[in-house]
């Protein structure tokens, strides 16, 4: 199972997305939820 993180965009509206990484999390990148 690849590492993933759930990012809450708007807690009031309950919007969120799950970002799935490849082999490792690259903290130098910016991950954008669309």
Residue 27, burial from CB neighbour count under 10 angstroms (0-12, 13-18, 19+): exposed
By the 8 A CB rule, do 15 and 9 touch?
A: yes
pLDDT (tens digit, 0 to 9) for every residue of the chain, 34 residues total?
A: 667 777 777 767 777 777 776 666 666 666 666 5
**Residue span of the structural domain in which 3 resides:** 1-33
- Structural domains in the chain (count): 1
Q: Whole-angstrom Cα distance, residue 18 to residue 3? A: 10
The reported pLDDT for the residue numbered 2 is 65
Model pTM score: 0.29
Could you tell me which residues come within 8 angstroms of residue 16 by beta carbon, excluding any fewer than 6 positions away? 6, 7, 8, 9, 33
């Amino acid at each position: 199972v690849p590492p993933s993180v759930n990012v809450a965009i708007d807690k009031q509206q309950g919007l969120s997305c799950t970002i799935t990484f490849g082999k490792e999390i690259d903290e130098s990148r910016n991950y954008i939820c669309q």
